[in-house]
Structure 1
Amino acid sequence: MLGKLPKFHDDNLLVGIETSDDAAIYKVTEDIALIQTVDFFTPIVDDPYTFGQIAAANSLSDVYAMGGEPKIALNIVGFPNCLDPAVLGEILAGGADKVKEAGAVLVGGHSVQDDEPKYGLCVSGFVHPKKIFKNYGCRPGDILILTKQIGTGIVNTAIKAEMASEAAVKEAVTVMASLNKKAKEVVEKYDVSACTDITGFGLLGHCVEMASASEVTFELHVEDIAYLEEAISYAQMGLIPAGAYKNRGYSIDQVDCGTVAEHYVDLLYDPQTSGGLLVSVSPEQAEEMIKDFAEKGMDTKISIIGKVLEKGEKLIHLK
Structure 2
Amino acid sequence: MDRDAATDTDEERARLTEFTELHGCSCKVGQSDLDSLLSDAGLTGDSDALLFGIGEDAAGRRLTDDLALVSTVDFFTPIVDDPYDFGRIAACNAASDAFATGAVENLDCLVVLGLPRELTDSAAPILGGMADALDAMDGVIAGGHTIMSPWPFAGGAISATAHPDALLTSQGASPGDCLYLTKPLGTQPAMGATRVTDEEFVETVTDAADRPLDRIASEAVAWMTTPNRDAALACREYATAGTDITGFGLAGQSRVVADRSNVGIELTHLPVIAGTPALSSLFGYGLTTGESAETSGGLFVAVPPEATADLEAAFDDADVFYRGVGRVTAGRGVTLDDPTVEPISR
Please report the TM-score for the alignment, with normalisation by the length of structure 2: 0.78
1:125 pairs with 2:174: no
Match of 1:71 in 2: 107
Letter in 2 for 1:105: V
Instruction: Give 1:10 deviation, angstroms.
Output: 5.2
Residue 311 of structure 1 is aligned with which of 318, 331, 334? 331
Match of 1:248 in 2: none
Instruction: Give 1:96 deviation, angstroms.
Output: 0.6
CA distance in 1, matches of 2:46, 2:278: 49
Letter in 2 for 1:215: N
1:13 pairs with 2:50: yes
CA distance in 2, matches of 1:235, 1:287: 34
Q: 1:9 to 1:305 in 2, by over 3 A?
A: closer
Match of 2:64 in 1: 29
CA distance in 1, matches of 2:169, 2:235: 13
Match of 2:230 in 1: 182
CA distance in 2, matches of 1:29, 1:37: 20
Instruction: Give 1:11 deviation, angstroms.
Output: 3.2
What pairs with 1:141-290 in structure 2 (closer than 5 Å)?
Answer: 141-161=176-196, 162=202, 163=205, 165-190=213-238, 192-221=239-268, 224-236=269-281, 238-241=282-285, 264-265=288-289, 268-290=290-312
Please report the TM-score for the alignment, with normalisation by the length of structure 1: 0.85
1:296 pairs with 2:314: no
> What SS is found at the alignment partner of 1:287?
helix
Confirm or deny: 8 A CA contact 1:217 1:317 kept in the other structure. Answer: no
Structure 1's unaligned 5+ residue stretches are 245-262
> What SS is found at the alignment partner of 1:144?
strand
Q: 1:84 to 1:21 in 2, by over 3 A?
A: closer
Question: Per chain length, whose mean CA-contact separation is higher, i.e. which structure has more relative contact order (CA < 8 Å, sep 6+)?
Answer: 1
Confirm or deny: 8 A CA contact 2:47 2:53 kept in the other structure. Answer: no
Match of 2:27 in 1: none
Instruction: Give 1:84 deviation, angstroms.
Output: 4.5
Letter in 1 for 2:299: L
Confirm or deny: 8 A CA contact 1:157 1:240 kept in the other structure. Answer: no
CA distance in 2, matches of 1:270, 1:9: 30
> What SS is found at the alignment partner of 1:13?
coil
CA distance in 1, matches of 2:266, 2:79: 32
Match of 1:60 in 2: 95
Letter in 2 for 1:3: S
Letter in 2 for 1:217: G
CA distance in 2, matches of 1:9, 1:208: 19
**Superposed CA RMSD:** 1.8
CA distance in 2, matches of 1:278, 1:82: 38
Instruction: Give 1:273 deviation, angstroms.
Output: 0.4
Instruction: Give 1:83 deviation, angstroms.
Output: 2.6
CA distance in 2, matches of 1:318, 1:117: 38
Instruction: Give 1:23 deviation, angstroms.
Output: 0.3
Residue 138 of structure 1 is aligned with which of 173, 185, 193? 173
Give every structure 1 segment of 4 or more consecutive aligned residues whose post-TM-superposition deviation is greater than 4 Å.
6-10
Match of 2:209 in 1: none
Confirm or deny: 8 A CA contact 2:166 2:237 kept in the other structure. Answer: no
CA distance in 2, matches of 1:6, 1:189: 34
Structure 2's unaligned 5+ residue stretches are 1-36, 197-201, 206-211, 339-346
Confirm or deny: 8 A CA contact 1:144 1:304 kept in the other structure. Answer: yes
Aligned length: 287
Q: 1:10 to 1:195 in 2, by over 3 A?
A: closer
> What SS is found at the alignment partner of 2:110?
strand
Letter in 2 for 1:264: T
Letter in 2 for 1:207: S
Q: 1:53 to 1:188 in 2, by over 3 A?
A: same
Q: Percent identity?
A: 34
Match of 1:90 in 2: 125
CA distance in 2, matches of 1:6, 1:138: 26
> What SS is found at the alignment partner of 1:139?
coil
Match of 1:252 in 2: none
* Deviation larger for 301-310 or 273-282: 301-310
CA distance in 2, matches of 1:304, 1:282: 12
Q: What are the superposed Cα offsets for residues 218-247 of structure 1, whole Å, 9 maximum, x if unpaired?
A: 1211xx3210111112123x2234xx6xxx
